[in-house]
Structure 1
């Protein structure tokens, strides 16, 4: 990361972070637990103009096209496209906890037009729309570019990068593409000895996998992709210089956090690692077997074991390890509390054979996928050579039972007095495997606290409808009376509830349609210890096209990335919709911090406009 002034004052904790005279240090999360300092040229600089690499190594040049310079309005760094959509990755310390998105852009094609030229072609500038996810330990920030710009095809010629989510090994050849010193694109592919630069060390701090490598970078290279030279997929996110080598967080640690933004599937161009299917268990289950396979980069070739090597298991939360299957010649160990176990080799073996940990699941285990267990392959020196996540699905209900009910269509409608709502209400029922539930009874009921007199068409005011093959149950039409106001309709099935927010308006229409701007007023950046209430509710301000407050507009708050902290709104409604006051302010219910440290992202949405809040569970 590089600030706009190139006057270097003092080295800071993050790689390449320099400040101009009079500049203030932005509040950032604690640095990753490696001694990172600026000064990432290792020996003599081997940084090459991107175009100088094109003739001799066109594959590396082509992959570098997906890399851009990120301008936050106060500093520069590097960012790169992940997959063919509108998502990019960079370092959290580049953009900060509360980025000024109105000033943040990613500049693609910022490079010289030829190897012999020192001129720089005009960059293709794409605005950043949202900060989706971030983490201080792995020092990453996942950003969404302006969708309309991406859809225009302006980035198509630059391509995108896939991910390699295995744990890299010492000796793996890599290269780095970025914008050192905020200048034109540079590629680092060679060490001073003329050999390809490579991974030199693998480390883990108990939460994040790190890699060190002997490629050159410089200030402004923060956020660069570290790319495997054999697969051309990204194995790590560069964040700085550590003990003689550059370092980055491995995608093996970052991917599980961001997978939800890709529908759980690795983006195109990624290298899949074959792992056994995640098993399913109910709370209180005993003898649940969770298999793990350690493989090479191709997902198939086995990792050969050596004497003294150890496969170390860390139990997921809400579970305990009761047994592990160890190969012949291995020593088995299980901790008394069942929170850890291991198999240690007395001779050579083949880790490609599926290993199995047997778990006991707590009676109090909540429904959902537990992915915070770990399996690490350690040598006698403690160096990590391979790692996998130990995961299982915990489900109190069986397949075919209603696990969730959601508002699928008809929510947030407005209708004039003495008319009918244009769309009926549709609730969708899903089972624990996220499959549609067919034939489930769903009952609809109007809660008309606003006294609008809204009712279902027909005599039955609590109609029960069965779900179709899509899991959808659709209510009869809703009729309005002569009074304006707000109301709710609930859909109920097997104890699960979906809530629809509706409004009866005058002939002048719905004030929500006047909302053209949303801004954050209060609640941003709050920190609350685990299990406590956040001090402030979230407040977003609604404004019309003239920047005047909009009274009576609807604003819906949604937790879009909980990071498994367990944070939730006070009350049963977890996507609360509130009405703006005379100042245009819409105040959410308060939030209760979950029981696990992490960042929580909440959006406020009105009339298609949205703003993002980031709050923190724990102490920093």
Structure 2
């Protein structure tokens, strides 16, 4: 992956896994801007104390860096969830949370870079990719079930019968959306696994985040358009989350791929790129979503 599409690989370094250390529940999170902010889905947060959470980021050699969540600074719960903040209703329907981590840990996070948010949001037909920390369930011959979490980057899908670059299929405006759904949803057929809630939907051209993945319906996966999210969070970044490049020259560079990258990555037939350092072929026991529309 790092050798064949270094830009996507490099921007995906800022995508990590958020874990509730009390419950064991997990989702995907990504770093926004050069400071100590990260973004995920509101529904990924299941307890109100941010000290319950930690985030894990993996470098190209497979080494994991963990940081501790500190404060919830922007929050708009999903319409089907109970709000963790009594002072905030579910009427905004954005399913987004911005969290800070300990400022003393910013320096060790510089190697992973950060992502920029696209204030205009997604556009129909736009090429996208989807870095995520998804869950794979592995069935053993003795009948036991093993759950593993892998970082993946979905570049293409075969919804039309043959593999092609993943794209935004449709962008809904608020008047088109059932009030049980987040506002301004974006549909795409890029594969996502359970645990991908909170993953950034990234433009393949600008490498900016155009939507926030939240789940799936019957035939498609869905995210919240970044346009209304930007209106909620832009005050945290002085109106501009500038830059999307890694903060440090130690991060992977297009002409200088990091050690052991080529031998530790692989791609399956669906176009999903596996970037876990000890990758092994999945047995196709994908749990395709960690959320389904309420009935």
On whether the aligned pair clears a TM of 0.5, the verdict is: yes
Tell me if the contact between 1:72 and 1:100 (Cα under 8 Å) persists in the aligned partners. no
Tell me if the contact between 1:110 and 1:185 (Cα under 8 Å) persists in the aligned partners. no
1:319-468 to 2 correspondences below 5 Å: none
Match of residue 156, structure 1, among 97, 106, 110: 110
1:592-607 to 2 correspondences below 5 Å: none
Residue of structure 2 equivalent to 1:238: 213
Tell me if the contact between 2:113 and 2:244 (Cα under 8 Å) persists in the aligned partners. no
Offset from partner CA, 1:506-555 (integer Å, 9 cap, x none): xxxxxxxxxxxxxxxxxxxxxxxxxxxxxxxxxxxxxxxxxxxxxxxxxx
Residue of structure 2 equivalent to 1:378: none
Match of residue 58, structure 2, among 109, 113, 120: 109
Offset from partner CA, 1:14-37 (integer Å, 9 cap, x none): xxxxxxxxxxxxxxxxxxxxxxxx
1:573-592 to 2 correspondences below 5 Å: none
Please report the TM-score for the alignment, with normalisation by the length of structure 1. 0.32
Tell me if the contact between 1:69 and 1:110 (Cα under 8 Å) persists in the aligned partners. no
Partner secondary structure for residue 164 of structure 2: coil
Q: Is 1:146 matched with 2:115?
A: no
Residue of structure 2 equivalent to 1:128: 69
Residue of structure 2 equivalent to 1:505: none
Tell me if the contact between 1:200 and 1:212 (Cα under 8 Å) persists in the aligned partners. yes
Tell me if the contact between 1:162 and 1:267 (Cα under 8 Å) persists in the aligned partners. yes
1:146: Cα distance to partner?
0.8
Residue of structure 2 equivalent to 1:615: none
Q: Is 1:179 matched with 2:133?
A: yes
Alpha-carbon separation, structure 2, partners of 1:144 and 1:86: 5
Q: Is 1:188 matched with 2:144?
A: no
Residue of structure 2 equivalent to 1:224: 199
1:209: Cα distance to partner?
1.6
Please report the TM-score for the alignment, with normalisation by the length of structure 2. 0.67
Residue of structure 2 equivalent to 1:91: 41
Moved more, 66-75 or 99-108: 99-108
Alpha-carbon separation, structure 1, partners of 2:19 and 2:48: 11
Residue of structure 2 equivalent to 1:69: 17
Number of residues paired by the alignment? 207
Partner secondary structure for residue 10 of structure 2: helix
Residue of structure 2 equivalent to 1:214: 189
Alpha-carbon separation, structure 2, partners of 1:221 and 1:135: 18
1:214: Cα distance to partner?
1.1
1:164: Cα distance to partner?
1.1
Larger relative contact order, structure 1 or 2 (CA cutoff 8 Å, min sep 6): 2
Alpha-carbon separation, structure 2, partners of 1:195 and 1:128: 37
1:3-18 to 2 correspondences below 5 Å: none
**What root-mean-square deviation, in Å, do the aligned CA atoms of Structure 1 and Structure 2 show?**
1.8
Partner secondary structure for residue 71 of structure 1: strand
Alpha-carbon separation, structure 1, partners of 2:14 and 2:70: 18
Partner secondary structure for residue 257 of structure 1: helix
> Could you say which structure has the larger radius of gyration?
1
Residue of structure 2 equivalent to 1:248: 223
Offset from partner CA, 1:427-456 (integer Å, 9 cap, x none): xxxxxxxxxxxxxxxxxxxxxxxxxxxxxx
Q: Which has the higher helix share?
A: 2
Partner secondary structure for residue 155 of structure 1: helix
Q: Any gaps of 5 or more consecutive residues in structure 1?
A: 1-52, 114-120, 271-620
1:225: Cα distance to partner?
0.3
Partner secondary structure for residue 54 of structure 1: coil
Offset from partner CA, 1:143-168 (integer Å, 9 cap, x none): 00111111xx1111110000112142
